[in-house]
Amino acid sequence: MNAQDLKNSILQLAIQGKLVEQREEEGTAGELIEKIQAERKQLFKEGKIKKQKKLPEIKEDEIPFDIPESWEWVRLIDLSLFIKAGGDKPKDFLKSKTETHTVPVIANGIQNDGIIGYTKEATIEESCITVSGRGTIGFSCLRTEPFTPVVRLLVINISDQLDNKYVQNVLTALLEKGVGTSIKQLTVPMIEPKLIPLPPLEEQKRIVAKIEELMPYVEQYDKAYTEVEELNKKFPEDMQKSILQYAIQGKLVEQREEDGTAEDLYKQIQEEKKKLIKEGKIKKTKVLPEITEDEIPFDIPENWKWVRLGELLYKLTDGTHSTPKYTATGVPFISVKDISSGKMDFSNTKFISQEEHESLYKRCDPERDDILLTKVGTTGIPVIVDTDKEFSLFVSVALLKFNTELIYNKYFMYVIKAPVVQIQARENTRGVGNKNWVMRDIANTILPLPPLGEQKRIVEKIEEMLPQTKQLVKE
């Protein structure tokens, strides 16, 4: 339940006679109605109000809910001295208040209390309730100072025998409100027959006092509810970041001696790379700078190792830097938009010819189990290639290839998603507008390397925990 729902519940209890107790000494609403009728007759006799329109008696099937025995159902017009709509904008209307133009001109909006400007003379001197007839339909407000209403604003002058704050609360509770309401406008003939649950005057006052006593608590609830909602929105993402951070610090699963060390794994990767370079299967890459002490953001277990991403890869490249010739059908051509959701999406890809694909594929050859990494615009999103379908890449996507027998691709996907790499991606993204995480900086990215067995246990634990964070929010 949000704050508006809570407020609505309080108002509903109030107008059903359930918010305060009934007191016999306060009399009945029937007695109050007699006083109102007497007041109306006297004002009509004095020429201060017009003769009241006769409306049909209230039928049983019109009554929306039960009320206490001391209350009565009455039509709004029977409680009012007049109900009318605002007129045209005054000829001397000014948008800003001046020494001569001090009377608010009020329309049907809710911003700035409905005030759209100022005029010299008020057309309404009495305390009245205003109700929006168009746009923000049904929004009511109690006006205690002289004002001038304009079209589409309804003005209700309540009998002095009533507490006008009570009536305004009733209208707030019962009138259909908002831009999306099912009625297109609210007119005087539509609001005049509105049924109002009427308690004795003293009970009206106690109801208003109780509502005003409770509203500060509703505001506190609203603030707390909003904060909780914001936390709930952020919770899955924040919890995911925390889980990933624990994982890459070696705190999510235990270290096992039989896993060996990351140093041994690192040496094995380097030996394998040398062998493949010698065999001409991969190209030799530039030696990356050693990691300095001040680059290391946090401690990791003794059997782990800080490494640069490029040191682990057999190949790091990106897609074609030239816009290809697109075709109606053919080989999918993947750009950032096709993987920015965190998974491969072929539903809206462009296509290139088989011939052009084969030409591009010689330099950039994505295959199953490789990692794609967004590097232009939306940077730092890793996606594992989970298909055998042929496709080519645009320059906005980097291709990361490594030996999947020595490195678990899911572990490195999660490492790239973790704050340690995302921070580096943000810091090293260059340019204005369509920003670029350049290949050199991707290769120089530092990350923690655990032994292969621990990589797999970390992924297993992450994938066990992440669905639970989403379930917690649902509950």
pLDDT per residue as tens digits for the range 175-186:
876 554 556 788
Q: What are phi and psi of 4, to 5 degrees?
A: -65, -40
- Strands 128-132 and 153-158 come out as antiparallel
Q: Which residues pair with 278 in a beta bridge?
A: none
Residues 60 and 136 in one domain: yes
Note down the domain range covering 400.
255-455
Cα-Cα end-to-end distance for the chain: 14
Q: What angle do CA 10, 13, 18 make, to 5 degrees?
A: 130
Shared-domain flag, residues 99 and 151: yes
Per-residue burial over 194-227, b = 16 or more CB atoms within 10 Å of its CB, e = otherwise: bebbbbbbebbbbbbeebeebeeebeebeeebee
**435 inside domain:** yes
Question: What is the crossing angle of helices 201-248 and 164-174, to 10°?
Answer: 50
Whole-number pLDDT of residue 63:
94
pTM, two decimal places: 0.57
Q: Where are the alpha helices (DSSP H) in 16-131?
A: 29-45, 76-79
Say whether 73 sits in a helix, a strand or coil: strand
Q: Indicate whether 280 belongs to any domain.
A: yes
Phi, psi for 334 (deg, rounded to 5): -90, 130
- pLDDT of the residue at 451: 96
The answer on 429 and 290 residing in a single domain is yes
- Taking the C-alpha atoms of residue 344 and residue 334, their distance in angstroms, rounded to an integer, is 9
Residue 128 lies in a domain: yes
Q: What is the CATH number of the domain that holds 304?
A: 3.90.220.20
- Written as six digits, the tokens of 349 are 């890809």
Query: Chain centroid to CA 177: how far?
Result: 22
State the CB neighbour count (10 A cutoff) for residue 36.
21
Q: Is residue 243 part of a domain?
A: no
**Which pLDDT score is estimated for 91?**
93
167 falls within a domain:
yes
Regarding whether 107 and 193 lie in a shared domain, the answer is yes
Please identify, among 175, 196, 221, the residue that sits at the C-terminal boundary of a domain.
221
What pLDDT does 285 receive? 87
Same domain, 439 and 329: yes
Both 137 and 212 in a single domain? yes
pLDDT of residue 231: 65
Q: Which residues pair with 376 in a beta bridge?
A: 436
By DSSP bridging, strand 72-75 and strand 315-318 are unpaired
184 and 274 in a single domain? The answer is no
Tell me if 61 is assigned to some domain: yes
d(CA 220, CA 52): 44
Measured in whole angstroms, the distance separating CA 474 from the mean position of its chain's CA atoms is 16
59 plus 136 within the same structural domain:
yes
Digitized pLDDT (tens) for each residue of the chain, 475 residues in all: 788 889 999 999 999 999 999 999 999 999 999 999 999 899 888 888 888 778 889 999 999 999 999 999 999 999 999 999 999 999 999 999 999 999 999 998 777 888 999 999 999 999 999 999 888 888 899 999 999 999 889 999 999 999 999 999 999 999 876 554 556 788 999 999 999 999 999 999 999 999 999 999 889 988 887 877 776 666 566 777 888 988 999 999 999 999 999 999 999 999 999 999 999 999 988 899 999 999 999 999 999 999 999 999 999 999 999 999 999 999 999 999 999 999 999 999 999 999 999 999 999 999 999 999 999 988 999 999 999 999 999 999 999 999 999 999 999 999 999 999 999 998 988 877 678 899 999 999 999 999 999 999 999 999 998 887 766 555 4
Assess if residue 67 is contained within a domain: yes
Task: Name the domain count of the chain.
Answer: 2
7 lies in the same domain as 50: yes
CA-to-CA separations, 114 to 78, 120, 123, 176, in angstroms, rounded:
27, 18, 16, 18
Residue 404 lies in a domain: yes
Q: Are residues 182 and 270 in the same domain?
A: no
pLDDT in tens, 180-224: 455 678 899 999 999 999 999 999 999 999 999 999 988 998 888
- Select from 221, 244, 268 the last residue of a domain: 221
Structure tokens belonging to residue 86: 């605002």
**Given the structure tokens 């400007």, which residue do they identify?**
117
User: Which sign does the torsion angle of CA 174, 177, 182, 185 carry?
Assistant: positive
Phi, psi of 351 (to 5 degrees): -130, 150
